Chains A and B, each alone.
Chain A
Amino acid sequence: MADIEHELGRELPVPAARPRPRTHGPIGWLRANLFSSLFNTFLTLIALCLLAVTIPPIIRWGLVDAVWSAPDGLACRGADGQEAGACWAFVGDKLRFILFGRFPYDEQWRPLLVVAIFVGLIVASCDRRLWGRRLVGLWLAGFVAVGVLMWGGVLGLTYVDTSLWSGLPLTLILAVVGMLFAFPLGILLALGRRSELPAVRAVCVAYIELVRGVPLITVLFMASVMLPLFLPSGLTIDKLLRAQVAFILFAAAYLAEVVRGGLQAIPQGQIEAADALGLGYWRRTRLIVLPQALAMVIPPLVNTFIGTFKDTSLVIIIGLFDLLGTVNAALADANWQGFYVEAYVFAAAIYFGFCFFMSRYSLMLEREFNQSRQH
């Protein structure tokens, strides 16, 4: 009895346990992610201070004090000649030029439609139900439509020379066409580099190393400055075509190395199993090796694509007006001098939109393709 009482007595004074820290709800999230330790709390506070210092001036510059309409640059600046806020009137005034550049003004619905087609195609590619032959058909139809709209000369559309293509449509054409052609070429180069035929291997290795060994800017320069000198006088290859080919060749070399990384990660057993099934080289590659290899290298592939997209801005040095080229040309206007920040912020927003989309798309693809390897 006494023993029991003794034991009960020992149990009675147990204090009520403290409630476990909340792990869900906004407060729980804050606690878990921002204030989980002394050091993290310190970092959070520093970050908050930085945001408090930087965000209000940016909002004041970009929204509150911004000038949304003005006849020219002087009207955007106050009486003291200083810019109080962003001069979005400049971007507004130059909007059509920045987006479509030198494309004939009355025909600019055509490049607008081209941009819409590209965005539509890219969005459609996200829909898993369309994958396969239908998507390929969709892209082919899209390309034909883009070609017809840009060149014209048929269906009652006036002909527009490639030298007048500019702005956002040019950037998209260079990037999308570049990637679509560079991708298969890159796969072939990667396969060639691992080929058992010494001649094929040597050619592929030499090509990849040569192209990777020079900066893109020199490849473009070569295409636009050197190439015409080697051609017979009077024969000129379209400047846009030269730049486009340079892009494809350049991107292919980088993609080849990315794909090779995937190929090397395929276990030898897979290949032996395919051989045992009696598959030849091409069927083995198409059905067994590439699907696994490509699924593994989606992040670096998309990385290369994003890089290619941004590299298109380098065509500025060969006198093509891509999006950044039209921005720079717009900045040269004597009526609107010095609104660099506004112009570049606008261009950056467009580039960011496309690049961010690509990176989200890559995450989606990774989830789709790598489900088999998730446990």
Chain B
Amino acid sequence: MIGTGLRAFFALAIAIGFGFVGPAQAGATFDKVKQAGTLVCGVNPGLAGFGQPDNQGNYKGLDIDVCKAIAAALFGDPGKVKYVPLTAQQRFTALQSGEIDILSRNTTWTLQRDTELGLNFGPVVYYDGQGFIAPKKLNVKSAKELNGATICVQPGTTTELNLADYFRANKMTFKPLVIEKLDEVVAAYFSGRCDVYTTDRSGLASTRIARAQNPDDHVILPEVISKEPLAPVVRQGDDQWNDVVRWVVYALIEAEEVGITAKNIDEKLKSEDPGIKRMLGVTPGTGKSLGLDDKWAYNAIKAVGNYGEIFERHVGKDSPLKLDRGINALWTQGGLMYAVPIR
């Protein structure tokens, strides 16, 4: 009941929103942020690994580190971020209305959002995708064998639609067991009320680690039935601001590729590699083009580490989620993370 009300209201809010999303003045956001001295960053109220307050109330996570890196690049201080927790319904209006400067909240990049909502997406920071988890004893090797299966799914998100699309495209049938609350849908799966549970693969992995009596008794099927590229988002109309976000993320990815970490970055300042010298500002130039200090990339990497470090710390092997790098590995290791040249 609440869900449909919210959705109708959201649609209305967006419709009205169009009128207000004209092309903003060039540089408006960039200047505003520089002047304010704080980055206002829209984040998830609580999603393990991506954005979540710890016991002391400090936000931690992969999306959070993107905000910290940008603040470090702008001000030389990763602490100059104001986090605004946003629900899924609020997030785009908060960005459109100028309440936040950047949205770093596990948001999927789609055509409709990029165009109709008047937004611009930065580089993808996590490639997610919807998958299935099944008990090993079912002996299912592929999602193609799931014809007639009972499938646990949460309503209201694209997850439910992707599921229906996939089964229709493969001419299979399924019985959906639709449960609103994450806790209950997971409990339903583990108690055997459904054969398979579907959600984003990062969610499946964390559920398997944290809730399964024995994680090895469950397999995540190889099929990825949707593409969920998660990226930071800014308003359209301020290209300079968009550039800052874009290049800070690229610097984090590039740093991993050339082996710069938060720890060894000061040694790397002495490196003879012209690429590293350019990126870290030893050879000046890149900062001026972005309207930042030449130390922008140095400050960002020093604050949060390179992309690989961020990944392992929050969602990878050093975190409770224990996700594999998978397609989020560098392009040199068969993944999709590829930074365009910083020069």
Contact = CB atoms under 8 A, between A and B. Distances in A.
Interface in B1-25: 2, 5-6, 9-10, 12-13, 16-17, 20, 24
Contacts of B212: 81
A346 to B, nearest CB: 15
Given A81-B212, A234-B98, A328-B46, A319 B84 contact: yes
Interface string A44-77: 0000000000000000000000000000110000
B87 A97 contact: no
B282 interface: no
A31 interface: no
A102 B90 contact: no
A319 B45 contact: yes
A326 to B, nearest CB: 8
Interface string A144-173: 000000000000000001011010000000
A221 B120 CA distance: 25
B210 interface: yes
Nearest to B97: A228
B98 A233 contact: yes
B283 interface: no
A368 interface: no
Contacts, number: 132
A103 B94 CA distance: 22
B315 to A, nearest CB: 9
Given A73-B210, A331-B46, A334-B321, A218 B9 contact: yes
B10 A337 contact: no
A317 B98 contact: no
Given A233-B98, A236-B98, A333-B48, A81 B87 contact: no
B211 interface: yes
A225 B57 contact: no
Interface residues of B, number: 52
B143 to A, nearest CB: 25
A57 B206 CA distance: 30
Contact of B55 (A93, A236, A338): A93
B135 to A, nearest CB: 14
B93 A229 contact: yes
Nearest to B96: A229
Contacts of A202: none
A331 B186 CA distance: 14
A217 B7 CA distance: 12
Contacts of B221: none
A2 B253 CA distance: 126
Contact of A102 (B20, B57, B206, B214): B57
Given A318-B87, A333-B48, A338-B183, A228 B94 contact: yes
B32 interface: yes
A228 B93 contact: yes
Interface of A: 72-73, 80-82, 93-94, 96-97, 100-105, 161, 163-164, 166, 215, 217-218, 221-222, 224-226, 228-229, 231, 233-234, 236, 239, 316-321, 325, 328-335, 337-338, 340
Give the 6 A-B CB pairs with smallest separation, nearest first.
A81-B213, A228-B97, A337-B210, A332-B46, A329-B46, A334-B48
Given A93-B55, A234-B98, A317-B6, 13 more contacts: A73-B210, A82-B213, A97-B56, A221-B6, A222-B9, A225-B93, A228-B97, A229-B20, A321-B85, A334-B210, A334-B320, A337-B48, A337-B207
10 contacts: A96-B55, A101-B53, A102-B59, A225-B9, A226-B16, A233-B97, A316-B45, A331-B183, A332-B47, A337-B211
